[in-house]
Chains A and B, each alone.
Chain A
Amino acid sequence: MIIAQGVAKVYDNGTQALRNINLTVKQGEVVFILGESGAGKTTFLKLLLGMEKPTAGELIVAGTSLIKPRAGDIRRLRRLTGAVFQDFKLILGRTARENVALSLRILGIGWSDNRRRSKAALAAVGLADKGDNLVETLSWGERQRVALARAVVREPRLLLADEPTGNLDGASVGYVAQMLALAVKGGATLVVATHDSRLIERLPGRVLVLEQGSLKEAPVTGREQAACGQGGIE
């Protein structure tokens, strides 16, 4: 699903966000990317979605090379991807359900199917009664779950989540973990940028660590380390 070879990203202002990333993720695999703030997690996810282009190396996602992609290829990739952005990227002035429904509408899914699935997705993240609320009236934690519902509702083949539990309390983390697990069960490949041990504990997967732009397969102790690190903060 994802093949990265020697991928690097240098931003226009000279910041080297990623260096020499080598990674292969198989279809259906679950990958956690840990790392301190500024380590390059968001940048890596942006590369996977074609929002930024690698400045070196080769990157292939879902069979599409993202070095010199065509607009149509990126569109195709994004349609089979569900993404939870760190800043949510919900449309203000619309209700939670409209935001979720948009995700399916772009895929061309008909009105009644769309309505049913959007409702179900919102219910699954514990927002059944908030569907008609405007996004800007929701709390950050609620918005984050709307964003997750929007990503998962399309039953994506690739699910990217950038700190999807960043604003959530314990109960909500449960919803998120369940949703992610469900998507994986449905065949999705999952890449999650997080440093939330509560999530890692609930979802079996491979744990990688980004450190100043370099990716390392976490040692056997990586999981516990991450968990400990997180535990220390709490």
Chain B
Amino acid sequence: MFTNLGYFFKEAWNDIVHRPVAILFSLISIALLLFFTAFIFAGGEQLQWLVGQLGQEAAVTVFLQEDVARSQRDSLEEELQQLSGVTTIRFVSKEQALEEMEDILGEHSSELAATAGFNPFLGYFEVGVLPEEGVEVAVQAEKLPGVDSVRDNRQTLERLTRLTLVMRLGAVFALLFVGVVMMITISHIIHLGLMAREEEMEIYRLLGAGPWFAALPFLLQGTLLGFSGGLVSFLAAVVTFPILISKLHSALPFLPLQPGMGVALAVGPVLIATGTIFGLSGSLLAQYQARGK
């Protein structure tokens, strides 16, 4: 069988050359399908990355009331220090808060502050915590005098993590759906190829060929088709994702985003693997149908 491997590839190629339009169309539709799932995957990728970024800095933000005196602030800092699980404390004044926000938001925000004419921010303590004690620290901090409100990024994190899971699940379902559609597309095109060559295959059998002799070129072809579809959609992602994400970044500058190339590279293997696997199963399905007759 392996002495014939080159021949099987040649046969697969011959058939492609024989009906280039049909093959090209199915390739395009497979690539498009995969490209669309790539978006859902990219969303999940982004969220995952965001969670990772935020998770590195498990922190509780303790906002101070508008008019807290210096002495009260110092005693508050000491009390926060006493809470178990607290690792670091950094004070950020109203003025610093404004500056930081301007750093993050860029030029647009200074305009915003200028038009507002006053500083809308509160001073706050950024309290580094051990991740597993973050919630408890937040609860305790809220009870201290002079505290306006407490924001625990763990809650945000948990919500984001849940959203990431939903996104992932959605992506897997989308992938399965696309996979099945792909499988049907490929099995259809392979089936047409098999039908067109029914007579030829009968001759193979009369000469003593086993079922794989005639089937293998078509298995190769279907697998190749799926693989190429994955590859094309991957290339499309490599080209488009960096552009899209840099557009998104300039629209939402405060949102930490993974660079587009990184997302494309992360999604690529999934696209190619899905293409290949469902390409192979599609052509197996076609064989199975053909043999049923």
Contact = CB atoms under 8 A, between A and B. Distances in A.
Nearest to B204: A106
Contacts of A76: 208
A106 B203 contact: no
Interface in A36-72: 49, 51
B7 A105 contact: yes
A108 B208 contact: no
B1 interface: yes
Contact of A91 (B7, B203, B208, B210): B203
A202 interface: no
Contacts of A103: 207
B82 interface: no
Interface stretch (A77-85, A126-134, A186-194): A77-85
A120 interface: no
A105 B206 contact: no
B13 interface: no
B4 A105 contact: yes
Nearest to B1: A108
A57 to B, nearest CB: 23
A91 B200 contact: yes
Nearest to B200: A91
B7 A75 contact: no
Contact of A106 (B6, B202, B209): B209
Nearest to A72: B210
B213 interface: yes
Interface residues of A, number: 24
Interface string B210-237: 1001000000000000000000000000
B3 interface: yes
B208 A106 contact: yes
A78 B7 contact: no
Given A91-B203, A106-B213, A111 B6 contact: yes
Contacts of B213: 106
Contacts of B200: 91
A102 interface: yes
Of the candidates B206, B208, B210, B213, the one having the most CB atoms from chain A within 10 angstroms of its own CB is B208
Contacts of A106: 204, 207-209, 213
A79 B207 CA distance: 6
A78 B207 contact: yes
A228 interface: no
B208 to A, nearest CB: 3
Interface in A143-180: 150
A26 interface: no
Given A75-B208, A76-B208, A78-B208, A110 B203 contact: no
A19 to B, nearest CB: 26
Given A91-B200, A106-B213, A51 B3 contact: no
B209 A109 contact: no
A102 B207 contact: yes
A89 B208 contact: no
A226 B48 CA distance: 88
Contact of A111 (B1, B3, B210): B3
A75 B210 contact: yes
Contacts of B6: 111
Nearest to A78: B208
B203 A108 contact: no
Nearest to A81: B208
Interface in B74-96: none
A110 B3 contact: yes
B210 to A, nearest CB: 6
Given A85-B206, A89-B202, A106-B204, 9 more contacts: A49-B206, A75-B210, A77-B208, A79-B208, A91-B200, A102-B207, A105-B7, A106-B208, A108-B3
Interface of A: 49, 51, 75-81, 83, 85, 89-91, 102-103, 105-111, 150
26 contacts: A49-B206, A75-B208, A76-B208, A77-B208, A78-B205, A78-B206, A78-B208, A79-B207, A79-B208, A80-B208, A81-B208, A85-B206, A89-B202, A89-B206, A102-B204, A102-B207, A103-B207, A105-B7, A106-B204, A106-B207, A108-B1, A108-B3, A110-B3, A111-B3, A111-B7, A150-B207
Interface of B: 1, 3-4, 6-7, 200, 202-210, 213
